[in-house]
Each structure stands twice: as structure tokens, then as C-alpha cells.
Structure 1
Amino acid sequence: MTQHVEIEFKNSLTKIEYTKLLSRLNLAEDTFYIQENYYFDTKDWKLKNLHSALRIRFFSDSAELTLKTPLEKNLLETTDDLSLKQGRFFLDTQTIKSNGRVAKQLADLKINLEDLFLFGSLVTKRHEKKVGQGLIVLDESTYGNNKDYELEIETTSREKGEVFFNEFLQFHSIKKRPTKNKISRMMESS
């Protein structure tokens, strides 16, 4: 189990901008990894109304259960590591791990585990590049018949990260666009 504060800046990209950034950052088309994301909430959208999100994410050799909750201007990520077998079991039964840190956080939010249901999924092809200011992430996400592209800058300082993010966009001639998170984009497309 881990818990950390996520400080990130996002910007939607056009396919052309995405492709140019892959080249400019020397990210080969075959240096990505795939994330499968499955999202849970209650029928009356308690998590959404709390500006929170719950997902099971699958990687090639592991899985994780993550709850994101607001923390000032950032997000608090609470994650329970899962094996692929555990992740598939929880997905197949549309349940989550009942004895982890995520379950405790949900109880603190007055969310009953029995009220959760799986309402959507998306697949992300992710490229990452570590730089002195943090992590540059380029995502191509597919959900339903939709595909979109996104830049994320993850950092440890909101102030320095925002400066770097704005300079990065300006340097690469990318227009700043307000960008909703993936779960919101996926929900709006349904």
C-alpha cells in the first residue's frame, strides 16, 4: 500500500502535437506501456460528487487498486498493490479488496463497498520521460469509439511545476487547453 500526493498539470493534445512531441522527446513509438483502467462508483455517484475516483489498473505483470481524493489543489492517491490474479478476480466479481488502505479510505468517506459497481473502462498507451523538473507523460487513451491525446507533467512542487508546464507548452507552440481527467472524458463519451 502506498499513499502519495499527486501534483500534475494536464493539457489535451491534437494527434499532430502528440506525434511531434514523441519525436522531439526522442520517445520511440515502441517505448510505451499499456494501462487498462476500470472505474467504480456508486449508483448515486458518491465518489464523483466528492470529486474522487476509484479504479483498478492493470499493467503487463501486476495490477493496482487506486482511490484519488482531493487534497487542497492536488490529489491524494491511495493505492493497494494487487497481483494480476487478484485484479482479475475483483474485476470479474465487480468488487474491490475489502481489507486494504483503499477500503479504509472509502469507509472514511462513508462509501459502502457493496454499493460500488463497475461503470466504465479505458485503455491508455503511455510514454514517459524523466527530466529534472519531474516526469513528462504522453498518453493516447481509447474508450468506446473515442481516442484522445494528452500531456501530463508530474512534479513534486506545484509552483515550479506550473512554471515548467507553461514554458514547455510555449516552447513547443502548444495552445493551453483546460483538460478534464480521463474518467470525466470517458463518462462524457458514454
Structure 2
Amino acid sequence: MKHLEIELKTLLKKEDYDHLKEQFSHIQPVLQKNYYIDTPDFQLREKKVAMRMRTFSDWAELTLKVPQTVGNMEYNQKLNLPEAESYLEKQKLPQGVVLEELAKIGILSQDWFVLGCLATIRYEMETSIGLMALDESHYFDHTDYELELEVTDHEKGKADFQKFLEENQITYQKTPSKLIRFIKSMKKC
């Protein structure tokens, strides 16, 4: 399955996260673990694409993100949890759309390397301005807080997101992806 992901995001201070969490109080949080994957020589990073295996309590999804002019084209492959765990343990990838798309961009590697795991407690709800996710992420010895908004129209979404932040007295912070934050922390270890 593929779809264009247009996402707006900001890092949050802990107090802003706690305040917003009240708006999500009716939502059951989900624990998701993101296992970031690359080749040992970082071919994906070199081509500015990202890949992760995201696990939930009873299923998993392999995702490849390829940058577009606006947003990322996401290629998703659903897996059952034992199958995903086996691939992670063996540092292999299943046949399917992700390997096909990697081949199209010239990455034919059979050698994969799991960089590590970032665990996120996510509160997610559909709002009038788009799909909103409130995240608390843990990786290495670091915890951060983030608000994401997935939209279909970048310009309208940007204006709606800014208005939402202003209404909640939150200062926008340019936010690198979870993968970039993870890699920066990884280099410090």
C-alpha cells in the first residue's frame, strides 16, 4: 500500500505535552516501537529515504518513506508480529512492495542493519484540521514530546496547525523527523 504523507510537526515542552494530553484524555494511547533500518554503509540515508519496522501489540508494519516535493511517499507492508520479530532478529526484509521500491531507487542490498529502537506512546485522533498525534518518545537515555498533524493540503494544513498552536499557546519549533533525532542521539552514545 502506498500513500502521500503530508505531515506538520513541532517538538513540545513537557508542560505543553501535559496540557494537550487533556484534550486527548478520551483516547486510549498506543505503544509503538520503531526499529530503524539501513544498510551497513547507510545507502538509505545517502539517498535521503527512511525505513522502519513499526511494531504494535499484535501486528507490525514495514514502511519506506521517499521524499517528494511536498511530503513523503510512504510504502507500507503489513506483517504479523512473530513474522516481523523474526525479520528484525535476522536483519532481513520480507519480499513485497518495500523491496520493490528500494530496487527502483537503486538499492539492491541483501545486508540490513537495525540501528535501534525508538518507543512511542501515541495518542491519535481525527480532528477538523486533520489526523493529530501526540507523542512521547523514548530512545537511548532521551525522552521527547511531539505534536504531529497529517493533512492533505500542505498550505491549508500549515495555517490550521499554526492557528491550533496559537490557540494552545504553544511556540512552534522546527522539528526533525524521529529518525534524525534518533540518529543524532545514537552518535552521542
TM-score by length of 2: 0.94
Native 8 Å contact 2:92 2:111 kept in 1: no
- Let me know the Cα RMSD of the aligned residues: 1.2
Please, which of 64, 67, 70 is the counterpart of residue 67 of structure 2? 70
What whole-Å deviation, never above 9, does each CA across 1:147-178 have from its counterpart, x for those lacking one?
A: 00000011111121111111011111111111
2:5 counterpart residue number: 6
Provide the secondary structure at the position in 2 that maps to 1:174.
coil
The residue type paired with residue 9 of structure 1 is: L
The residue type paired with residue 127 of structure 1 is: Y
1:27 counterpart residue number: 25
Native 8 Å contact 2:24 2:123 kept in 1: no
Distance 1:5 1:108 in 2: 17
Q: CA deviation at 1:26?
A: 4.0
Distance 1:161 1:177 in 2: 16
2:16 counterpart residue number: 17
- The count of aligned residue pairs is 186
Please, which of 167, 171, 178 is the counterpart of residue 182 of structure 1? 178
Q: CA deviation at 1:49?
A: 1.9
> Matches of residues 69-148 of structure 1 in structure 2 within 5 Å?
69-97=66-94, 99-148=95-144
1:154 counterpart residue number: 150
What whole-Å deviation, never above 9, does each CA across 1:49-82 have from its counterpart, x for those lacking one?
A: 2221111110111111100010112100001110
Question: In structure 2, do the counterparts of structure 1 residues 112 and 26 end up closer, same or farther at CA, with 3 Å as the change threshold?
Answer: closer
Q: CA deviation at 1:112?
A: 2.3
**Gap runs ≥5 in structure 1:** none
Q: Percent identity?
A: 39
Does residue 44 in structure 1 map to residue 19 in structure 2?
no
What whole-Å deviation, never above 9, does each CA across 1:6-50 have from its counterpart, x for those lacking one?
A: 011010001110000111x1425x720010111111222221122
Greater than 4 Å deviation, 4+ residue runs: none
Provide the secondary structure at the position in 1 that maps to 2:45.
helix
